[in-house]
Chains A and B, each alone.
Chain A
Amino acid sequence: MSQMELYHYLALGAILFAIGLVGFLARRNMIMMFLCTEIMFQGVAINLVAFSRFHMNPSGQSFMIFLLTIAAAEASLALGLVILLFRRRETLNVDEWSEMQG
């Protein structure tokens, strides 16, 4: 695998990360915001595995296991919070909670 081939995968990861970032910044639905972070996670995962292949070193795939762990923990905690907040105000609009910025 050459640097040029690696570049293809890195480009895909970067574009996915950017699209997820757009969604996270622009969408107002809390569930959608966290779904967009999952897209960003996928872009990073492709980067990790591509580097693992490029350097012929399985550490990158180990990191992807940890990344999936973090994603699962984040999803469970975030969705628990979403349910809690939805019960308080009956809305998923994140602007409703803007006083939480301190």
Chain B
Amino acid sequence: MDLLLLAATALGAIGLYLMLPRERAPLVRIGTLLGAMALAGFFLFLVRSVEQNIGATAPDVSTRPPLVFYVFAAIMIGGAVGVVCQPKPVYAALYFVLVTLAGAGVLVLLMAEFMAIVLIIIYAGAILVTYVFVIMLASQGSSPSEGGGTGGDVKAPAYDRRASSSFSAVFVSFVLVGAVLQVLLPTHGPIATRNASLINPMAAMMVQSVGITSNPQPAGTVGQPSMGVEATTKNATGIEPIAPSNVQLLGASLYSQYSLSLELAGILLTIALVGSVVIARKNVDVDTESLGTGKVPVE
């Protein structure tokens, strides 16, 4: 195993272990320092791998993501560590918003703008709001039985201030991440990307739409044979054919290739909606006599 990768993984594991909430005060500063060193180690490992790999790749293929990616990745990882290590659930939810926003940035870098917007709307807008609602509903910081303080500063309950079996959790997870990073490391240059546009007509369209071809010709002349009926008919009417956008490609894929799955997803959402209402509802004894009389039924 690569020594730098091993060191970075171990440092990250120790840092996360120190930052997890526990009985004594967690060593947040030392943990943050070790975590930052681990991130720097991962960064150096990636840079070194890029440099070792650069001879094997074709010159027109990018070998590393733009620098902004590293910024977004650092924000995501830092936010995730914040979620895991924050004793108070509300702050953890706010850290999760940070993770979601940085994740949307990473998706934009991957040319998936629609998914980035959807991620923000669904995660930060819907799921997170549900979480915050439940945190408010089920908060028990003021109940003295669980060790919550009754003073002005409400302390988190005991089970939030203490993580159980944190050593084994950190060990398992970071052995997993070290193994995955080591195994996935590419040992040879790109094979699949070179000819992807020749194999898959949809890939050719996507290449056009994201504009990664180094061909300086206008878009209409490059991929005309593979663009299908719509482009040629548009061309016949004198309108310049427009390369399909990411959303168009996604819609074509969803409603042709995965249309049945899409219906099933809708059914699943309906079932989950009904199920959650049934699960979470209180057993209210409905007084049948008071129905329709405007009286509020008493629990």
A residues neighboring B (CB under 8 Å): 1-12, 14-23, 25-29, 31-32, 34-36, 38-39, 42, 45-46, 49-50, 52-59, 61-62, 64-66, 68-77, 79-84, 86-87, 90-95
B residues neighboring A (CB under 8 Å): 12, 16, 20, 42, 46, 49-50, 53, 57-58, 61-65, 69, 73, 76-77, 80-81, 83-84, 89, 92-93, 96, 99-100, 103, 106-107, 110-112, 114-115, 118-119, 122-123, 126-127, 130-131, 134-135, 137-138, 140, 143, 145-146, 157-160, 162-166, 168-170, 172-174, 176-177, 180-181, 184-186, 188-190, 192-193, 196-197, 200, 202-203, 206-207, 212, 246, 249-250, 252-254, 257-258, 261-262, 265, 268-269, 271-273, 275-277, 279-280, 282
- Pairwise interchain contact B164-A79, C-beta atoms closer than 8 A: no
- Pairwise interchain contact B99-A39, C-beta atoms closer than 8 A: yes
- Pairwise interchain contact A72-B127, C-beta atoms closer than 8 A: yes
Known contacts A62-B257, A77-B275, A95-B159; decide if A56 and B207 are in contact (CB<8 Å). Answer: yes
- Pairwise interchain contact A9-B130, C-beta atoms closer than 8 A: no
Residues of A within 8 A of B269 (CB): 69, 72-73
Residues of B within 8 A of A34 (CB): 131
Q: What is the predominant secondary structure among interface residues of chain A facing chain B?
A: helix
**Chain A nearest Cβ from B3, distance in angstroms:** 17
Residues of A within 8 A of B58 (CB): 2
- Pairwise interchain contact B53-A4, C-beta atoms closer than 8 A: yes
Give the interface centre of A3, A50, A62, A94 by most chain B CB atoms within 10 Å: A3
